[in-house]
Every structure is written in structure tokens, then in C-alpha cells.
Amino acid sequence: MGTAVTKQKLKTHKGAKRRFKITATGKVMRAKGMKSHFRRRKAPRVKRQFDRMLEMDRTNVKKVKRLLPNGV
């Protein structure tokens, strides 16, 4: 009897899981930085814009999708 070689499970990168979301259509969404630093001096309009998720630049999408193999 030979031993069966199984593929190793792909692990999700936990830091990437918290920072990025993959939509149903496959877009990678990211949050803006500088959200909590000097919050009081920022205008209310700017603070509202921090709540939105932005589509990630296409140059980084491949790297992020490799960190999130299950599309978390």
C-alpha cells in the first residue's frame, strides 16, 4: 500500500482578511488609511468619506487575491 499524497490546504492571510473584502463580482475593496489620526481637525465631509470602501488599484489585486485564496 502506497501513501497518498494530499495537497496542503491554502491558508488565509489574517491581516489581509481584516483589511480587504472581495465582492461577488471579484473586485477587491480596500479602506482608506489615516482614519483615526488627527480626527478632530478633519472636516465632517472628509470623515464621512473614510467610511467608504474603495476599489483597489489593479496593480495590487493579484497579490491580495493570493493572500485570500477562499475569497473571504
Write the class of the CATH domain 14-67.
Answer: few secondary structures
Average pLDDT over residues 28-32: 93
* Averaged pLDDT score across all residues of the chain: 90
What is the C-alpha to C-alpha distance for residues 12 and 69, in angstroms, rounded to an integer?
Answer: 6
Mean pLDDT value across residues 30-53: 90
pTM value is: 0.76
Cell of 29: 475593496
Ordered by start, the domain boundaries in the chain are 14-67
Q: How far from 11 is each of 24, 36, 39, 66, 70, CA to CA, in Å?
A: 20, 30, 35, 10, 9
Please state, in angstroms and rounded to a whole number, the distance separating the CA atoms of residues 70 and 20: 13
* Among the listed residues 3, 6, 7, 60, the one whose alpha carbon sits nearest the alpha carbon of residue 30: 60
